[in-house]
Amino acid sequence: MLTSIVLASGNAGKLKEFSALLEPLGLTVIPQASLNISEAPEPHPTFVENALAKARHASALSGLPALADDSGLCVRALKGAPGIYSARFAQTEHGARSDLANNQKLVQALQDVSDRRAWYVAVLVFLTHPDDPQPLIAEANWFGEIVETPRGENGFGYDPHFYIAEHGCTVAELNPSIKNAVSHRGQAMKILLSKLKERGVTLG
């Protein structure tokens, strides 16, 4: 029975979302920072490779099963950018990161662009231990478009600029419970939970 996992992320927004998704199922989500585990390097060119690296790092240092998420925003007109660099799109030479700076850079890059189509990507990796030969991997996309003016107070990252036509609002305007149900991360989590069930893993 799986009762607790370490979350291989220092992102407060992700911790909040994963806790909301998993704790009702009886699974305790432990942020790696609470175990004094630093963030793993992310040198790889793909979401899945970086997620695997983060999960192995957290599991090795905690001795616990680990869940890692590598996610980001891809914009069609920018050839998939910012992609794996989403969190550090506007990172300064001193390493400082800011959602506001990232969003400002994104809006500037699309200043004279009519095609605003974009999609969020989430790749989840679950390891029972750092040398798990068959990690569980789940991936999902969430499609929308980029709007110039930020709207809404919920969410994090690019959410104030990511407009979802079927909901008629940006992600930052969505109720968090709705976001968790329909987002890229929520979709990927449903896939991962299904794979855990197939593997015979019970939660709680």
As annotated, the active-site residues are: 70
The stretches of the chain forming alpha helices (DSSP H) are 12-22, 47-62, 99-109, 176-182, 184-198
Measure the CA dihedral 121/126/130/134, to 10°: -100
In the chain, the amino acid numbered 195 is: K
Q: What is the distance between the alpha carbons of residues 139 and 174, in angstroms, rounded to a whole number?
A: 22
DSSP string, 140-180: EEEEEEE-SS---SSS-TTGGGEEETTTTEEGGGS-HHHHH
Contact of 110 with 145, CB cutoff 8 Å: no
Contact of 126 with 144, CB cutoff 8 Å: no
Q: What is the distance between the alpha carbons of residues 135 and 89, in angstroms, rounded to a whole number?
A: 29
Enumerate residues 6+ apart whose C-beta is below 8 A from 157. Answer: 13, 73, 86, 87, 99, 102
Number of Cβ within a 10 Å radius of residue 148:
11
